[in-house]
Amino acid sequence: MIKDENTKCSDQLELYRIDGEGSWTLGGSTDSNIEGVCSLGDAFTNYGIADFATYISDKYDYGRVGTDGTSGSDYTLTDLKAPIMSRVAFTKSFDTTYVTNDTAIFTAITTSTGDYTLAEFGIHDASSGGNMGARQTGSWSVVDGETFGIIWRIVVSRG
């Protein structure tokens, strides 16, 4: 995960291949420094940081994949550029990276409905329509019927 003294928020997306026995094998990951999205400064207490991570977790419930990985830094998008398949509901939890519960974790398992090179991934606040809260780009090939998992961590910190 990208982290330096100026980082205020960061996120990491991990993609896993899931075999017929349910074993997860890491296939790839992306990192993104999303400092411009939220710069908390020193005014936030540890409770405030955990509260902001809880807000992010409570706000976004669905993930989706797409095939257009261009414009990775276009922060005006409200949906993926070329979404495929249906949005999938996340299982959500918290972890501690710097202070207790400062990391919102979004996990989903889905099955590919075709042969694709996935190139964009998003978290959304509705099962259709609504808003996209974060987007990652990368490259991940899946075949029709392949089950894969997504783990997306968003860390809130003072830096």
* C-alpha distance from residue 26 to each of 114, 125, 143 (Å): 21, 26, 16
Q: Is the dihedral of CA 48, 50, 53, 59 positive or negative?
A: negative
pTM here is 0.85
Euclidean distance between CA atoms 80 and 124, whole angstroms: 10
Q: Residue 40 above 90 pLDDT?
A: no
Q: Which contiguous run of DSSP H or E holds residue 84?
A: strand 83-89
Neighbours of 34 (CB within 10 A): 17
Q: Residue 43 above 70 pLDDT?
A: no
Of 27-41, 74-88, 109-123, 124-138, least confident by mean pLDDT is 27-41
Q: Which contiguous run of DSSP H or E holds residue 11?
A: strand 9-18
89 vs 15, more confident = 89
- pLDDT for 6 equals 44
Mean per-residue pLDDT, 85-111: 95
Q: In 13-117, which residue ranges form alpha helices assigned H by DSSP?
A: 46-59
65 vs 9, more confident = 65
Mean per-residue pLDDT, 25-47: 66
Residue tagged 């005006």 (tokens): 76
- pLDDT for 53 equals 92
Helix, strand, coil shares, percent, the chain, to 5: 10, 50, 40
78 vs 158, more confident = 78
Q: Residue 39 above 80 pLDDT?
A: no
Sheet with 83-89, side-by-side order of all strands: 83-89, 62-66, 116-124, 132-142
Length of the chain: 159
- pLDDT for 151 equals 95
Question: Taking the domains of the chain in order of start, what are their residue ranges?
Answer: 9-156
